Chain A
Amino acid sequence: MTERVLLVDWVAGEASALLPLARDLAGPGGALAVLSTVAGNPWTSSSGIDTVYQVAAPGFDATRADHLALAIAEATRALPATLVLSGPAKVEREAVARAGALLDAVAITGVRAVRVGPDGVELSRDLLSGNATGIESIASRPALLSLSIVPAGAGPDESPPNATQVVALPVELPTYDLRRISRQPKPVAGVDLEAADRIVSVGRGLQKREDLALIEGLARALGAAVGCTRPIAAESGWLGDDHWVGLTGHRVRPTLYVAVGISGAAQHLVGMRDSKIVVAINKDANAPIFQQADYQVVGDLYAILPELTRLLTAASTAPS
């Protein structure tokens, strides 16, 4: 079974993490191409890639889902692709959906794993707000997929260098009236939760915004990024959406996930389930989060965090 795979490189270089999966799906004798949306693409010297479609359209704006969708549809037709893979960003999800309509093809988001079997493309994704995992199969092609989680640890590149062909891709942009007036970054921007190896995450167990210092202190002691539940980002606005873990936020898979004052709703669990080691700190011994934890600490976060932070800091600064 061979596939003709198109990788969407929305942020320059982002798709390199999807490359091993794409190579695998293409199989020997398949085709592998990259859609590059920004000038100066880093792909020409990558091995195993047959074609780079370089968007060539004045006024093209890759941060607009409708523009990106038109480029995906054009490149899919040009290859022609049987499988299209993109990352998890909101713009990518929307673009994949719109491109699906333009191509009358299946478009699925939130994909955790994908393989090609005898009955077609088989994928695993979250269902029922995270209460279930589903196996879905798609018989028709092309199929457009937005992965919710980028496969970890890109394998070594063993394919021999080959000549990559760069093809300019003209895109006809829409004429309807849609304009961006402004764009404001979130309060605390710049965390990349998907890439974090350790995360200390906080929920409504925290009583006030100032107490975030406790969470940040523990995160610093562990060299961890700060995550949170939806209410902390979307209701209280104490942290920006970059920090938000879950069904409607980010799917993370760190080595260590420390859940502090988080009850463990299905919509949150779905975002952190792939963590290697989970520590839960909660004063309610029956909190559902404990069923998803390796280490269950029953207690008041206000009493535990200062001590825990002090110990971890002391351990790292003590002479060995």
Chain B
Amino acid sequence: MSLPRRWVVAVKHGIDVNLTRADPTTGRIDLARAPRKTSDFDKNAVEEAVRLREKHGGTVTVVTVGPATAREAIRDALAIGADEGVLLAAPDGPVGDSRAVAGTLAAYFRTPGGAFDLALFGEGSTDHFSGTVGPRVAAELGFPSLSHVRQLTIDGGHLRVHRDIDSGIEELESGFPAVVTVGQEINTPRMPTFLSTLKSSKKEIREIPIDSLGLSASKWTRSIVIQEASVPSVPRKKIRVSGENPSALSHELVELLRREGIDGK
């Protein structure tokens, strides 16, 4: 078996959730105009791929589905250390529609230039957090998906991961090609330096229009529509428990809870 050398990372130029503001009167958020940035866990995925290349050689390619502005996510990844970028250009395409995005990525990975040994995804995107794009791509291509990976090594031509399931930690082994998804615990992405940013600005970003991928139009037609996004609000009593000292505070709280029907057990 030949050694794995083609590492790809799918990165999303998503909504910057910390800079998003709701309309103060309606509580609604205008998603189309929200500021954007690279999805958090995708940087962990890029960092992990760069470490794999440093250890085992090969090339790290980052790929994103989005409009021209999504190049910014590719630039971020190149600054961390990825070698090349691919923009699957969807000028007004269905970004955020997991079925369509996964279908587009899978179509690209089926092209001769898109083949990989290991594809890395975030375990969920910061704005949509469906966690479905990675496993979907794997299933479309008929590959195993190893999700919620916390530790990753390559040993004797095999991929070994520790991954987080609800009831424990699993150790899995698989062959290549494979798809993994990662969260923030797997590593700390390095901060781009002035030099790495300068160097990355010279790296190539290839642009491929998604309608050249041979997809039927229905494949990237949006099937989910976000009707409305608003700031959640649950009415709360917001009663400040008074009391000069811990003892008085505790007495007061116990009394308040008792009135709610909550006693010690």
Q: Interface code B129-170, partner A: CB below 8 Å = 1, 0 otherwise?
A: 111111111111011111110000000001010001111111
A178 at the interface (CB under 8 A from B): yes
Q: Interface code A130-152, partner B: CB below 8 Å = 1, 0 otherwise?
A: 11111111111000000000000
A293 touches B238 (CB 8 A): yes
B236 touches A298 (CB 8 A): no
- What is the bound-complex CA distance between A298 and B136, given in angstroms? 46
Contact of B167 among A97, A132, A223, A242 (CB under 8 A): A242
B112 at the interface (CB under 8 A from A): no
A184 touches B169 (CB 8 A): yes
A39 at the interface (CB under 8 A from B): no
A315 at the interface (CB under 8 A from B): yes
CB distance from B185 to the nearest CB of A (A): 5
B102 touches A101 (CB 8 A): yes
A181 touches B172 (CB 8 A): yes
A163 at the interface (CB under 8 A from B): no
CB distance from A134 to the nearest CB of B (A): 5
What chain A residues lie within 8 Å of B22 (beta carbons)?
A: 132
B226 touches A66 (CB 8 A): no
- What is the bound-complex CA distance between A299 and B44, given in angstroms? 37
A181 touches B173 (CB 8 A): yes
Q: Interface code B226-265, partner A: CB below 8 Å = 1, 0 otherwise?
A: 1111111010111111000011011101101110101111
A135 touches B239 (CB 8 A): no
CB distance from B201 to the nearest CB of A (A): 30
B263 touches A315 (CB 8 A): yes
What chain A residues lie within 8 Å of B83 (beta carbons)?
A: none
What chain A residues lie within 8 Å of B196 (beta carbons)?
A: none
B131 touches A297 (CB 8 A): no
What chain A residues lie within 8 Å of B4 (beta carbons)?
A: none
Q: How large is the interface on B (under 10, 10 to 19, 20 to 34, 35 or more residues)?
A: 35 or more
A293 touches B171 (CB 8 A): no
- What is the bound-complex CA distance between A139 and B118, given in angstroms? 34
B126 at the interface (CB under 8 A from A): yes
A136 touches B225 (CB 8 A): yes
A177 touches B174 (CB 8 A): yes
The number of chain A residues with a CB under 8 A from chain B is 92
Contact of A100 among B132, B147, B168, B234 (CB under 8 A): B132
A174 at the interface (CB under 8 A from B): yes
Q: Interface code A243-286, partner B: CB below 8 Å = 1, 0 otherwise?
A: 00001100000011000000000100010011001110000000
Contact of B265 among A186, A294, A316 (CB under 8 A): A316
B174 touches A132 (CB 8 A): no
- What is the bound-complex CA distance between A306 and B220, given in angstroms? 58
Contact of B254 among A100, A128, A311 (CB under 8 A): A311
A128 touches B236 (CB 8 A): no
Given contacts A91-B165, A100-B99, A241-B166, contact A247 B265 (CB under 8 A): no
Q: Interface code A161-180, partner B: CB below 8 Å = 1, 0 otherwise?
A: 00000000000001011111
B170 touches A316 (CB 8 A): no
* Segment at the interface with B among A26-34, A103-111, A207-215: A103-111
Which residues of A in the span 37-94 have a Cβ within 8 Å of any Cβ on B? 63, 65-66, 69, 89-91, 93-94
B229 touches A110 (CB 8 A): no
Given contacts A242-B167, A297-B241, contact A292 B234 (CB under 8 A): yes
CB distance from A119 to the nearest CB of B (A): 9
- A-B pairs with beta carbons under 8 Å apart, 20 shown: A90-B165, A98-B145, A130-B232, A132-B20, A132-B232, A133-B229, A174-B144, A176-B143, A176-B144, A179-B173, A180-B172, A184-B170, A255-B262, A266-B17, A273-B232, A278-B236, A290-B238, A293-B236, A294-B238, A295-B237
Residues of A within 8 A of B (CB): 63, 65-66, 69, 89-91, 93-94, 96-102, 104-110, 122, 126-140, 174, 176-186, 189, 198, 221-223, 234-235, 241-242, 247-248, 255-256, 266, 270, 273-274, 277-279, 290-300, 303-304, 307-308, 311-316
Closest 9 pairs (CB-CB, A-B): A223-B265, A312-B264, A97-B132, A316-B264, A177-B175, A101-B139, A98-B139, A97-B135, A294-B237
